[in-house]
Each structure stands twice: as C-alpha cells, then as structure tokens.
C-alpha cells in the first residue's frame, strides 16, 4: 500500500500576493480537476513556511481549507470516521514536502483516510515581493490517494546534520521591527551554505543509493530543491548524469529565437513530441536532456517549498508518466537537512 | 457502527516543565490601565499562571519538558525514532520567532536524539494531540517503533501586548490575558498488552470557523498578540461537541459511563463547567466522567494544556490504574477531536516515582 499522486496544480504569483489566497487557489484548482468525493479528503497539509502577516495561529492550513471551501462544517455523515478533513501545517523548510508524504503514508496505511491534499506557498509576509526576498511568489497543490498495487512513494530517508551551523535561518525578531512586525522577516544565508549543503546532500545520497539499491539508470526524472540556478545540475552531475550537449543546444536555441511565449511553446512542444518523440519534447519544454533533472529554477526561480510539486507538475502536465516510470525526489535545506524518496507511477 | 479497535500504541512516559515565576491575575490586572481592567478572575476562574523569566523561551521550556519526559522513560535519547515539535510559539534567543530550520531540529540535537527524524507541526492548541495522532498512525504503519511529541509554549508575550493595548472592557485581546507558559512532552510506543493503550483518536477541522482567532504580531507595538472572537468560538465548539461526543462513543462501541475522566482543553473554569452541563443534558440519566480543571492554577497553556492537566492529575492520584480517559481537543481552526485511552500502572509509576519539574 502506498501514496500515489492523483493531480497537481502550480501557480506563479504576482508581485502583490497573499500566501493563503494563492495556496487556496492552487488547492481549489487541484480539486476541480478530478472527480472525487471531497468528504474523503481526510488531510490538508500546508508545507509553506512563509505566511501572511506572520500569522502563527490558527494553522495556516485551516485558513487555506476555509478559503478552498473543503469540508467546512462536517455534520451528519461527515462526522463518520474517515470523513471530514483535519488540516495542519508541517514545517521542515524545503524538505517539508517529503515529511508530509511520510505522514500521509502513515494515515493511509493505518486506515484513517484514503485521500489527502498537500499545499505549499511562499510569499513575503507583507504580501509584496520585497527586494532581497529570495523566493518566487508561488504555490502548489497535490492530491494524493491510496495506492493498492505497490506503486507510489517508497524508500524514504530523512537525515539532518548533528553539528555545524544551520546554513540558512528564517525568522522574525518580534521586538526589533517596531509596529511593523507583521510585514517583516529576516532571511539569513551563511556564505558557505550551498557548498556545505552539496557535500551533505551527496554524502547522504550515497548512503541512500546503497541502502535501497537504487539503479540510477531506471530513474526517469530527478526533482531537487531549488537552492540556486546550478544546484540541480550539480547534484545530478555528481550522481553521474551528463548533459547531452546537442539537445541542450537545440533547447536553448529554440527558446531564444522561437518560443518567447509560454503557452505556444507548450502546444508546439506537445506537437513535436508526437512527431519526434518524448525526449526531444522534454528537452524543449524544460531543458531535460538525457540527464533526468527536472530543472524548474531556469523558468521559475527559487520556488522553495513548492519546488517538488512544481517539478512534478511540469514533468507530467503535457507528457503523462507511463506505468513503471520512476521519479527521485531529493530535497535539501537548512539545518542542514536532507530528505529523499522514490516515486513509481502505477497504472492510471 | 460498533468498532472494536486494536490498541497499538500507548503513552510510555510524560514530562512537564513550568517556569517557576508565578503571576496572579491580580498582578496582571494591576499592570493595566485602571479604566480597562476587568474582573478576570471571577469571569474565567483563573487565579494564577506561570510566566517565563529572562533566559526562558519556547526552546528552553520545550527542552525542559523533553528532558523530564526522558527521565521518566525507559528510553534514552538515542532510542527515539521521531521527534515532533508541536508548539504554537517557536521563540528562541529571546523573542525571535523561527520559521526555518524547524525547531524540532534544535530540540533533537540538544537532546542527542541522533537517530530520530524530526519536523515541526502547527495546529494551534491542538498541536500536541495532532502529534499524537500522527505518531499513533506511524507506529501502526510500522514506520517508527516509538516517538516523542514535545511542545514548549512561551505564550505570555501575548498577555504583555494585551495589557498594553486593551482599552475597553470588550476587546478581541481579552483571551490573551488567560494564557500561561508551560512545556509538555510525551513518548508513545507500541503496546504489548491488548488491554492497555490508545483505543481511538479522531480529529477534524471545522474550517468554517477558522477565522475566529488569530495569533500574529501586533500592529500597534512590537511583540505578538492574539485576537479572538471568544463568544463565537465557544458557541461553535459547544454547539458541535455534544453530538460529536455521542457519535464518537458510538463509533468505538462505548457508553459515556465507560469513561472515567474527561480532560478538555483548558480555556476557563466557566467554559469547562458549561461543557459539563451540556453533556449532562445530552446524556440524561447517565453518570458523567470527572472533568479535570487545572486552568485556575496554570491558565490556558495552549498546546500543552491538556497534557499539563493530565500530568497533574496523575501525580495527585486523581486518576487510577485501569481508568478510561478522553482528551478533548478544542482549538482555533476550529479543531475538535478526541483521544481515548486506558491508563496503565507503568504510566502512573513513571510520573509518580520519578522527578518532574
């Protein structure tokens, strides 16, 4: 029994945005796209760490649930066990997505519910995209359901550093901003954060590959965190994948001279996929070459906690996964922290 | 539907930490503008609360509770498979509120729980009990063998703000005057006795009422505040609870008379007594459980309130071996839920024979 992905949505926000509204929009869109009994969505987990006005109570997930209109007032049959929604926030920086999946896995296996929604959003607490705020205002939503055929997420590993500094800290000094505490936060990167995180991630990946006997040649896609524009490439190259230079040139040339607009690019890419095959299509849409990296940073910047959902969404939006396709989610972040899991697509 | 559920996990140990500094309700009222003062003690029944002193914050309070929990446990830190931090407040190094990395990581490293996975969970005052459901499910699913849920609430800063900002008798910050600081931690592990353990956990979010209470920074001064439509929350909760209690008991195949102790979330003496009256009316002719009330001594300690009341009752011999307890969760969101379990001798011994804070 596992956790399988039923549907995803992503939103790239405007310069003025609400983290709660954008997450609720993503959740609504995600639920609209599928034919399910909504009373069965037993969990709504918010993994975003930034919140409007630095709200700390209630769980931002409950405000997102309210705005989404999901099981607002369970009465009557929704008071039955296994129906109605419990919403709460799960926080572990950029690794939050995989912790949320692990929690959902436990709920599904214990029979508490059979469907769950993960939402994410990262927007500056002031609602305005401040200079120096490193994250793209963005949101994602993912609907999960129980998989009974052994597919879905498996091989979870979570690891944090026992020593050394955190690398990145995000906090609100509630006594330092006068009466502007709702509109401010501090994002503090240490100079060697990315280099230390890369060493930490790769050494832990080595253990992961050995422990679960992962054959990297079977991996169709790798979705990493969006630490920087070169992060994903560095991780995937260090794992042994090399860029196909011709396909990279083709992708860069087409994007530069022809595909200036997003929508036509996708439609044309989808047409080309039918003519030339999937690999060329993926190269055009996202820059994936024979290298399985799902590089969303180039198009969307640092989408922080939403990166796993946005990565999956972009892989599957116009080119559905086939049965047996495997995706490796490798998340890295402050702490230092690491989380990894394998996703295998089952029968649709 | 009658449903006999296998007891899989049990409470293995509990730890509490409360700051030594005691502030009476009179002390608190004396800090307010005389025109804004209310008869807080007579309205809420709260006489005293604990308040952090210099050097104390959510982290130190959480760590104190976690260390006391391990002292009462057969496990060492390295035996713990998961640590879930469930506090609303994540103040460290004074009143700096942290969002990333998670607080659980600092707690884990300070304890030396090097083999544990960890994450933060926020669910208002329902945090610890939501953590219990997650951990119970993880033990049932075989993902972990045991785990610790910990919460360190340094919440009196909202009372500091309320004292400064309340100008009228009816004010959305009134509920902030009822809070107190406390830390709690418990360890769940697999039960080896079919008669011992957690029988049922359920929780739902009535999100129609999610905007009735906000905890956020003040917009008038530095610091944090809480704005509550207390009447709205109580009406919504009390309207829902009796029916929900009835349905929950039916689901697990219990009668109200099979329950010995109710531990509701501790908001005020009046609210708990009102709840007791409503349930008495809902179950006519039935003997109702004893309702634990410790809010008069500690105030509303947010996510740690239920555990603090339960721990004190165990220590004082109010709860006996074999008694059935229901934790009743009522929290902003609006989260309502229950944990139903039977108390065993080992848990009582762990709390009464070893040191607490």
Give B101-135 as a DSSP string.
Answer: S-HHHHHHHHHT-TT-EEEEEEBTBTHHHHHHHHH
Secondary structure (DSSP) of B169-199: SS-TTGGGGGB--EEEEEEEEE-SSTTSEEE
pLDDT score recorded for residue A272: 65
Tokens of B284: 């006519």
- Asked if B267 and B178 touch (Cβ cutoff 8 Å), the reply is yes
Say whether residue B303 is in contact with chain A using an 8 A CB cutoff. Answer: no
**A82: closest chain B residue by CA:** B202
Q: Is the pLDDT of residue A106 over 50?
A: yes
The sign one gets for the Cα dihedral A179, A181, A182, A183 is positive
- Tell me the pLDDT band of A209, cut-offs 50, 70 and 90: very high
Q: Evaluate if residue A59 carries a pLDDT over 50.
A: yes
Name residues 248-287 of chain B within 8 A of A (Cβ): 251
Cα–Cα distance measured from residue B66 to residue B346, given in angstroms and rounded to the nearest whole number: 19
Q: What is the pLDDT of residues B78-137, one digit of tens each?
A: 999 999 999 999 999 989 999 999 999 999 999 999 999 999 999 999 999 999 999 999
- Nearest chain A residue (CA) to B127: A88
Residue B36: per-residue pLDDT: 84
**Mean per-residue pLDDT, B240-263:** 92
Q: Exposed, middle or buried by CB within 10 Å (0-12, 13-18, 19+), for B168? A: exposed
H or E element: which one contains A257?
helix A245-257
pLDDT bracket for residue B355 (50, 70, 90):
very low
Q: What is the pLDDT of residues B331-353, one digit of tens each?
A: 999 999 999 999 999 999 998 87
What pLDDT score does B52 carry? 97
> What's residue A256's pLDDT?
65
Q: Which of A53, A84, A171 sits opposite B97 (nearest CB)?
A: A171
Q: Across residues A48-77, what is the average pLDDT?
A: 91
Are residues A99 and B119, on separate chains, in Cβ contact within 8 Å?
Answer: yes
What is the rounded CA–CA span in Å between residue B191 and residue B343?
12
pTM: 0.92
Check residue A246 and give its pLDDT: 67
Assess contact for A145 and A337: CB atoms under 8 A. Answer: no
**Residue pLDDT, tens place only, B132-176:** 999 999 999 999 999 999 999 999 999 999 999 998 878 999 999
Residues 6+ apart with CB under 8 A from B347: B10, B11, B12, B13, B14, B314
Instruction: For residue B76, give the DSSP letter.
Output: -
Residues B136, A160, B133: CA angle, nearest 5 degrees: 10
Three-class secondary structure assignment of B26-56: HHHHHCCCHHHCCCHHHHHCCCEEECCCCCC
Q: What is the pLDDT of residues A143-170, one digit of tens each?
A: 999 999 989 999 999 999 988 899 999 9
Helices marked H in A33-137: 60-68, 96-109
For position B37, what pLDDT does the model report?
Answer: 85
Percent of all residues in chain A with a pLDDT value above 90, rounded to a whole number: 69
Q: What percent of chain B has pLDDT over 90?
A: 84
Tokens of B79: 């035996």
Which of A317-331, B124-138, B268-282 has the largest mean confidence?
B124-138
Q: How many CB pairs under 8 A join A and B?
A: 232
B109 touches chain A (CB under 8 A): yes
Nearest chain B residue (CA) to A335: B101
Are B215 and A56 in contact (CB < 8 Å)? yes
Distances from the Cα of B323 to the Cαs of A171, A205, B259, B318, B345, in angstroms?
44, 48, 8, 10, 10
The dihedral through the CA atoms of B264, B269, B271, B273 has a sign that is positive
**Cα(B241)–Cα(B244) distance, integer angstroms:** 5
Q: B122, A59: Cβ pair inside 8 Å?
A: yes
Per-residue pLDDT at A287 exceeds 50: no
Q: Tell me what pLDDT residue B237 has.
A: 87
* B318-334 burial code (b ≥16 CB/10 A, e <16): ebeeebebbbbbbbbbb
Residue percentage of chain B with pLDDT more than 70: 97
Q: Which residues of B touch A47 (CB under 8 A)?
A: none
Whether B1 shows a pLDDT value over 70: the answer reads: no
Average pLDDT, whole number, for chain B? 93
Ranking A99-113, A288-302, B173-187 by mean pLDDT, the lowest is A288-302
Enter the tokens of residue A283.
């190269």
Q: Which of A18, A57, A71 to mutate to test the interface with B (most CBs of B within 10 A)?
A: A57
Higher pLDDT, B204 or A262: B204
B232 forms beta bridges with none
Predicted pLDDT of residue B14: 97
CA–CA separation, B82 and A224 (whole Å) = 24
Residue partners of B133: CB distance under 8 A and separation at least 6: A86, A112, B201, B202, B203, B337, B339
């Amino acid at each position: 029994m596992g956790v399988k992905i039923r549907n995803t949505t992503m939103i790239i926000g405007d310069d003025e945005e609400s983290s709660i509204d954008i997450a609720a929009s993503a959740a609504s869109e995600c639920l609209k796209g599928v034919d399910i009994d909504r009373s069965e969505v037993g969990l709504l987990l918010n993994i975003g760490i930034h919140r409007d006005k630095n709200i700390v109570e209630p769980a931002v997930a409950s405000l997102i649930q309210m705005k989404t209109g999901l099981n607002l007032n369970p009465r009557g049959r929704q008071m039955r066990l296994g129906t109605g929604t419990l919403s709460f926030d799960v926080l572990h920086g950029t690794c939050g997505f995989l912790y949320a999946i692990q929690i959902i896995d436990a709920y599904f296996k214990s029979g508490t519910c059979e469907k769950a929604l993960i939402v994410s959003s990262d927007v500056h607490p002031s609602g305005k995209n401040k200079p120096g705020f490193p994250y793209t205002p963005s949101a994602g939503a993912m609907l999960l359901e129980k998989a009974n055929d052994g597919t879905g997420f498996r091989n979870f590993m979570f690891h944090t550093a026992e020593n050394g500094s955190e690398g990145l800290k995000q906090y609100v000094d509630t006594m330092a901003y006068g009466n502007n505490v709702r509109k401010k936060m501090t994002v503090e990167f240490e100079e060697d954060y990315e280099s230390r995180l890369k060493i930490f991630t790769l050494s832990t990946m080595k253990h992961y590959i050995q422990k679960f006997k992962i054959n990297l040649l079977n991996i169709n896609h790798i979705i990493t965190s969006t630490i920087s524009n070169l992060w994903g490439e560095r991780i995937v190259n260090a794992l042994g994948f090399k860029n196909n230079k011709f396909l990279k040139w083709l992708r860069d040339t087409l994007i530069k001279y022809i595909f200036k607009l997003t929508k036509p690019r996708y439609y044309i890419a989808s047409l080309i996929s039918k003519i030339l095959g999937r690999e060329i299509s993926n190269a055009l849409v996202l820059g994936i070459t024979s290298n399985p990296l799902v590089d969303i940073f180039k198009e969307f910047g640092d989408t922080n906690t939403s990166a796993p959902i946005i990565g999956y969404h972009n892989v599957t939006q116009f080119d559905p996964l086939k049965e047996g396709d495997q995706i490796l989610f490798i998340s890295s972040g402050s702490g230092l922290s690491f989380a990894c899991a394998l996703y295998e697509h089952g029968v649709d | 539907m009658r449903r006999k559920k296998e007891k899989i996990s049990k409470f293995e140990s509990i730890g509490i930490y409360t700051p030594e500094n005691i502030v009476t309700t009179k002390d608190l009222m004396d800090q307010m503008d005389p025109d804004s003062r209310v008869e807080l003690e007579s309205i809420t029944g709260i006489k005293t609360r604990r308040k952090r002193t210099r050097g104390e914050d959510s982290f130190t309070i959480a760590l104190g509770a976690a260390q006391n929990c391990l002292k009462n446990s057969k496990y060492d830190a390295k035996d713990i498979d998961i640590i879930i931090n469930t506090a609303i407040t994540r103040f460290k190094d004074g009143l700096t509120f942290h969002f990333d990395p998670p607080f659980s990581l600092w707690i884990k490293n300070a304890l030396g729980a090097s083999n544990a996975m960890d994450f933060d969970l926020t669910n208002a005052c329902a945090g610890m009990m939501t953590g219990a459901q997650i951990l119970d499910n993880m033990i049932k699913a075989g993902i972990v063998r045991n785990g610790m849920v910990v919460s360190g609430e340094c919440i009196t800063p909202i009372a500091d703000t309320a004292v400064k900002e309340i100008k009228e008798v009816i004010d959305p910050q009134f509920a902030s005057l009822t809070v107190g600081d406390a830390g709690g931690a418990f360890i769940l592990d697999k039960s080896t006795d079919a008669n011992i353990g957690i029988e049922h956990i359920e929780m739902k979010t009535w999100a129609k009422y999610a905007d009735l209470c906000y905890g956020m920074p003040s917009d008038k001064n530095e610091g944090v505040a809480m704005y509550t439509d207390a009447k709205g929350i109580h009406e919504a909760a009390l309207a829902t609870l009796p029916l929900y209690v009835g349905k929950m008991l039916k689901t697990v195949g219990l009668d109200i008379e099979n329950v010995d102790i109710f531990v509701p979330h501790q908001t005020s003496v009046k609210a708990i007594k009102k709840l007791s009256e409503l349930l008495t009316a809902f179950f006519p002719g039935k003997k109702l459980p004893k309702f634990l009330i410790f809010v008069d001594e500690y105030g509303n300690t947010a996510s740690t309130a239920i555990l603090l009341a339960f721990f004190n009752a165990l220590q004082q011999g109010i709860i006996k071996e074999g008694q059935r307890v229901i934790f009743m969760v009522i929290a902003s969101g609006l989260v309502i839920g229950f944990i139903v379990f039977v108390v065993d001798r080992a848990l009582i011994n762990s709390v009464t024979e070893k040191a607490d804070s």
